[in-house]
Amino acid sequence: MPKKTEKDEIPEGIVDEDGDEIIELGEDEEDDIIDEDIYEIEDEMLAEPADEDDFGRSRSEVEIMLRDVECAKCEGSSTRKNCKVRDDFGCPPDKANK
């Protein structure tokens, strides 16, 4: 039994760069496409971020957290060879000269 091959549908009118047929409406026809301005749509995802929006922690909050964790167990500046807190923020005054 021979296989039945499908005939490709070849556009007969004007085609765009992708090969899709461009359908032109007649003079008495109108399209039903609604053009919407996306800037008029009220949506939190599309809204511009406000100044009061806070993303992440501030530098001082990070410094406080790091000092609470890292500096609490430290004996002093001279006891640690590599210290990221000391490099970024400096040693706390009570441990700077130890």
d(CA 41, CA 36): 8
Structure tokens at 3: 């296989």
- 77: helix, strand or coil: helix
Does 25 reside within a domain? Answer: no
The pLDDT of residue 84: 83
Closest to 71 in 3D by CA, of 87, 58, 56, 57: 87
Q: Is residue 47 part of a domain?
A: no
Residue 77 domain boundaries: 59-89
* Residue 14: inside a domain: no
pTM for the complete prediction?
Answer: 0.36
Pull the structure tokens for residue 35.
């053009």
Q: Which helix (H) or strand (E) holds 89?
A: helix 84-89
Q: How far is CA 93 from the centre of its chain?
A: 40
Examine residue 50 and state whether it is found in any structural domain, yes or no.
Answer: no
Q: What's the structural domain count of the chain?
A: 1
Q: How confident is the prediction along the chain (98 residues), in pLDDT tens digits per residue?
A: 566 666 676 657 788 888 888 877 777 777 777 777 777 767 777 666 666 555 667 778 888 888 888 888 888 878 888 888 888 888 877 777 76
pLDDT of 68 reads 86
Q: What is the pLDDT of residue 90?
A: 84
